[in-house]
Amino acid sequence: MKLAIVGKGGSGKTTTAGVIARLLARQGLDVVALDCDANPNLGISLGLGPEETERLVGIRQALDDGEEEHAPSADELLTRFGAPAPDGVRLAVVTRIDRPNPG
């Protein structure tokens, strides 16, 4: 099962995604949470804490800076760019946009 949470700014996407991920993991499902927000903070909602959330963003940005190699498989992506979160959820950060161009 793949779930995508989308919607208007400030409508509760991150909160909803975090709650659903944790509830499914508590039911025993193997949950991978991918934070695709341009301003990734799903780690906070998942209970990972601000420092670990920021560390994941930094690892992802290292890829853009040529300091990290792309992962050849989903498992390795989670190992290199992800972290275990409470309730057994695994989180990986997909991107962050620090300086968006106009348009």
Ligand X SMILES: Nc1ncnc2c1ncn2[C@@H]1O[C@H](COP(=O)(O)OP(=O)(O)OP(=O)(O)O)[C@@H](O)[C@H]1O
Binding site for ligand X (CB under 6 A): 7, 9-15, 37
Q: Tell me the closest approach of the beta carbon of residue 8 to Mg ion, in angstroms.
A: 11
Cα angle for residues 4, 6, 11 (degrees, 5° grid):
135
Residue 34, SS3 per DSSP: strand
Pattern of binders to Mg ion over 1-30, x per CB under 5 A? ------------xx----------------
Which ranges constitute the DSSP H helices of 65-93? 74-81
In the complex, least distance from residue 41 CB atom to ligand X, rounded to whole angstroms: 7
